[in-house]
């Protein structure tokens, strides 16, 4: 029990103006099946390092449950998802995504590339839910690189997020073209994607939700062609202590409240905030990428807005 004290203390201090429901106290955000399993198998607190448990925000849950709970969170925020991203990123996630895509510079420009049998890039956007990254990739390839062949497969574990993406695709020029595909898949097991078939694997604001991040990175390595690139945009660790303090106060106290107002779903937002806090530091994550066999460019990552988010990349070695 001793080990719990700092965490509860922390929680009490961080959650200004609102006590948090315990795991047993069910929120209206979670589906009823989750609610039941949750009540049966999750005692209010499990030490975070017990073997078969994992993190669901600061709550420690049995591993098998995490996937379900994550599913429930994203089902409940699917439509108000942009609002959430705006809040967490101080309104600049769109700029980060633009930068992420522009920097990867997807597409093969027929005017400057030597003729080759390959046309365009084969891109896999994991946890691509709403299609945000996919549309940007295709727009960039088409307008900047005059490339009408680059294609994106959007994979997400959650059908509601995929449905949202498909709906938005209808407003884009890519709906019902071979350039855009949606598949339901768990990033840790991409059986439908052949080995060495992908030029660029992207995951934006998704990997922190995966139960086994290392398994997902290994799958990325498998599906990438030699020379292919793993690129991850994710909330990260703020470097400046003062800014960190301010940002934490903002994210832990304000956002769940605003979440409640905009989406009437406080617990889902609370989860999102906590999952960010739990995500490994820039260096730790860089080392995970290296461990899977990737070469990393330079120091391995680029901080955005003082480290609120970071872009990590890895290149699968040729031969």
* Ranges within 126-185 binding other proteins (CB under 8 A): none
- Give the span between the Cα atoms of 184 and 165, in whole angstroms: 12
Among 129, 228, 256, 259, binds other proteins (CB under 8 A): 228
Residue 95 C-beta: closest distance to ligand SAM, Å: 13
147-186 footprint of ligand SAM as x/- string (CB under 6 A): ---------xxx--x------------------------x
* Ranges within 268-307 binding other proteins (CB under 8 A): 277-278, 280-281, 283-284, 287, 290, 295, 297-299, 302
Residue 127's binding partner, choosing from ligand SAM, other proteins, none, with beta-carbon cut-off 5 to 8 A by kind?
A: ligand SAM
Residue 187 annotated as lining a ligand binding site: yes
Q: Does 319 bind other proteins (CB under 8 A)?
A: yes
Residue 146 C-beta: closest distance to ligand SAM, Å: 26
Contacts of residue 98, defined as CB under 8 A and 6 or more positions apart, other chains included, come to: 136
181: exposed, middle or buried (Cβ count in 10 Å: 0-12, 13-18, 19+):
middle
Please, which residue, 94 or 248, has the CB nearer to other proteins?
248
Among 112, 117, 178, 191, binds other proteins (CB under 8 A): 112
Q: What angle do CA 245, 251, 257 make, to 5 degrees?
A: 135
Residue 244 annotated as lining a ligand binding site: no
Residue 64 C-beta: closest distance to ligand SAM, Å: 13
Residue 240 annotated as lining a ligand binding site: no
Alpha-carbon torsion (180, 183, 189, 193), positive or negative: negative
Residue 284's binding partner, choosing from other proteins, ligand SAM, none, with beta-carbon cut-off 5 to 8 A by kind?
A: other proteins
Q: Does 113 bind other proteins (CB under 8 A)?
A: yes
Q: Does 232 bind ligand SAM (CB under 6 A)?
A: no
Residue 215 annotated as lining a ligand binding site: no
Residue 133's binding partner, choosing from ligand SAM, other proteins, none, with beta-carbon cut-off 5 to 8 A by kind?
A: ligand SAM
Q: Which of 186, 244, 182 is nearest to 66 (CA)?
A: 186
To which residue do tokens 């690129």 refer? 231
Total residues at interface with ligand SAM (CB under 6 A): 21
Report residue 36 as tokens.
């039941």
Please, which residue, 65 or 108, has the CB nearer to ligand SAM?
65
Contacts of residue 259, defined as CB under 8 A and 6 or more positions apart, other chains included, come to: 84, 87, 265, 266, 268, 269, 270
Instruction: Write the DSSP string, 137-177.
Output: HHHIIIIIT--S--EEEEEES-HHHHHHHHHHHTTSTTTTS
Contacts of residue 301, defined as CB under 8 A and 6 or more positions apart, other chains included, come to: 236, 282, 285, 286, 310, 311, 312, 313
DSSP 187: T
Whether the CB-CB separation of 58 and 22 falls below 8 Å is answered with no
Please, which residue, 173 or 227, has the CB nearer to other proteins?
227
Contacts of residue 162, defined as CB under 8 A and 6 or more positions apart, other chains included, come to: 129, 154, 156, 182, 184
- Give the span between the Cα atoms of 83 and 252, in whole angstroms: 16
Among 87, 187, 217, 288, binds ligand SAM (CB under 6 A): 187
- Give the span between the Cα atoms of 318 and 316, in whole angstroms: 6
User: Which residues contribute to the annotated binding site for S-adenosyl-L-methionine?
Assistant: 130, 156, 186-187
Residues that bind ligand SAM (CB under 6 A): 70, 74, 126-130, 132-133, 156-158, 161, 186-188, 204-206, 209-210
User: Per the annotation, where are the binding residues?
Assistant: 130, 156, 186-187
């Amino acid at each position: 029990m001793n080990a719990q004290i700092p965490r509860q203390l922390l929680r009490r201090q961080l959650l200004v103006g609102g006590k948090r429901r315990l795991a047993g106290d069910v929120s209206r955000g979670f589906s009823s099946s989750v609610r039941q399993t949750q009540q049966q198998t999750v005692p209010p607190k499990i030490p975070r390092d017990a073997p078969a448990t994992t993190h669901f925000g600061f709550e420690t849950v049995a591993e098998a449950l995490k996937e379900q709970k994550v599913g429930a969170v994203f089902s409940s925020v699917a439509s108000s998802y942009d609002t959430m991203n705006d809040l967490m990123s101080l309104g600049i996630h769109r700029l980060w995504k633009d930068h992420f895509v522009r920097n990867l510079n997807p597409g093969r420009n027929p005017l400057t590339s030597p003729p080759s049998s390959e046309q365009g890039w084969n891109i896999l956007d994991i946890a691509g839910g709403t299609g945000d990254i996919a549309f940007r990739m295709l727009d960039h390839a088409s307008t900047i690189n005059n490339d009408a062949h680059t294609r994106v497969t959007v994979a997400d574990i959650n059908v509601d997020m995929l449905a949202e993406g498909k709906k938005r695709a209808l407003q884009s020029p890519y709906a019902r073209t071979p350039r855009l595909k949606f598949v339901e898949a768990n990033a840790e097991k991409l059986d439908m994607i052949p080995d060495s078939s992908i030029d660029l694997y992207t995951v934006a604001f998704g990997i922190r939700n995966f139960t086994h991040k290392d398994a997902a990175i290994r799958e990325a390595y498998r599906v990438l062609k030699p020379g292919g690139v793993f690129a991850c945009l994710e909330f990260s660790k703020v470097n400046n202590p003062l800014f960190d303090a301010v940002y934490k106060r903002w994210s832990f106290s304000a956002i769940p409240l605003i979440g409640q107002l905009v989406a009437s779903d406080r617990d889902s937002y609370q989860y999102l905030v906590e999952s960010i806090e739990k995500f490994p530091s820039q260096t730790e994550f860089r080392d995970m990428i290296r461990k899977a066999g990737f070469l990393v460019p330079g120091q391995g990552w680029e901080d955005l807005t003082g480290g609120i988010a970071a872009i990590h990349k890895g290149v699968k070695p040729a031969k």
